[in-house]
Amino acid sequence: MSKPGTMIAATASAAALLAAVTGCGSDPYTSASGEVVITCATCQESPTDPFLQYNYEAAQRFNEAFEGRYQVETIENPNAGSSDDRLQYYQRLALAGDLPDVFQLNSAEITAMQETGRLHDFAPALEDDEEWAATFHDQAFDALTGPDGQIWAIPQQRDAIGIYYNTAMLEVAGYDEFPSTWDEFEDLAEALKRQGGIAIAMDGDWTTMLMWVNLIGTQPGGPEFLGEGIATMDDWGEDPVVTRATERLRDWHEQSYVNADAFSGDPQNAFAPYLTEEAAMVANGPWFVSTNLTTDAAAPDLYEHTGYAPAPGWTEGDRGTVIVSGAGWVSGTTDERGLEAVDAFVKFMSSEEEVLTQAAATGANPPVRVDPAATEAADLEPLATGLVTEAADLTYRYPHARVHGPAGFSTAWKNLWPAYVQGEMDTDEFLQRLTDDAASSGM
């Protein structure tokens, strides 16, 4: 289905949908064969999105495993993947009382959606099943938790997000390893610039925000801002840590360390220069390997001379990395039978076998503890697993700005960042407007 209006019509009533599917109009959650049927809005096939494709295949495995008890029916959803329209789409469905039984949201979307009062709280289910709850990594639920201890989502992944770098380009510039400090990073950028190359590719959106977060998070007090201050401060510019990071990132643009179209708002415009070996570095998560780095879009043998590193530090020995829980499985049903099936589904999706299958398919790292022997046998992508291992010993680990920040952060950033870098406002005005607009544009 291609338009939100079409989608709303298709999901205007869970009862109507399931009656059409099962022929059982008197009981919307029970099929003709007696199975409890739930709808999933993030389980459709996708030739371009490995996460959606994994979800689709996992839902089919769930249906086979629970045949006769539970079944997942897929809703074709134009907003199933990440998009600027996804939050408003689900907010409209919540307002109409028509949320799907199970679907995925990121942490910023969850922050906004909890205001609707329509999300299911998984905390009681986790309390009732201590063995299941104990499988999750520490802090796995931090970005998915409500103000009163509600757990709005079951995490899909737990990733360290680093910086990809072209080892061959660094060697030509005189570097046999990734810089350990931001000063060394800028020295490398100057060397690459002199050779006519792009130091680091950006897009004015996701990849640029990652570097802003890295510059904040690798300072004393930075992780605290990203974990709390970003949600509570009335003016982010009052924190000198944020001001220093913001101005340093702006300076990279002024020094021409980045690509010419670094304000496009399209991550592919950051990925493309790296894939064609015009840019030496780009920030992104582990999924970049399967979605870009090992595809036909990448230069021959690029994967073989790509490294994956944590962020440099402001001082020697004080490096850091973004740690995120990624998207989480949420539910919009209140029906007891539906919730029974939803609980079975999210437990299935967080099982050791499934999280390793997902890791192999997408590059995402498991949100649950996995037996080391099983991990080794799964032959997971080494760049991502290497960074996860390295992250445990870094000075700083911090969330992305989207995790604890206002739901409108991404939109506000994309609107304001180009004007700031181009000199249309100073740092104080930029950070004040970013604070205000991020808080006001989430709904």
- What is the SS3 assignment for 151? strand
Main-chain dihedrals φ then ψ at residue 55, nearest 5 degrees: -55, -40
- Report whether CATH 3.40.50.300 matches the domain 159-324+389-440: no
Looking at 8-12, 53-57, 134-138, which range is the least confident one? 8-12
pLDDT band at 3 (very low <50, low <70, confident <90, very high): very low
pLDDT band at 7 (very low <50, low <70, confident <90, very high): very low
pLDDT tens-digit readout, 216-232: 999 999 999 998 999 99
pLDDT band at 282 (very low <50, low <70, confident <90, very high): very high
Q: Rounded distance, CA 407 to CA 418, Å? A: 20
State the burial class of residue 334 (Cβ atoms within 10 Å of its Cβ: 0-12, 13-18, 19+): exposed
Which CATH code fits 4-158+326-370?
3.40.190.10
pTM over 0.85: no
The reported pLDDT for the residue numbered 29 is 78
Tokens of 422: 């181009």
* Dihedral Cα 189, 221, 207, 368, nearest 10 deg: 120
Tokens of 258: 């980045």
Residues of the chain with CATH 3.40.190.10: 4-158+326-370, 159-324+389-440
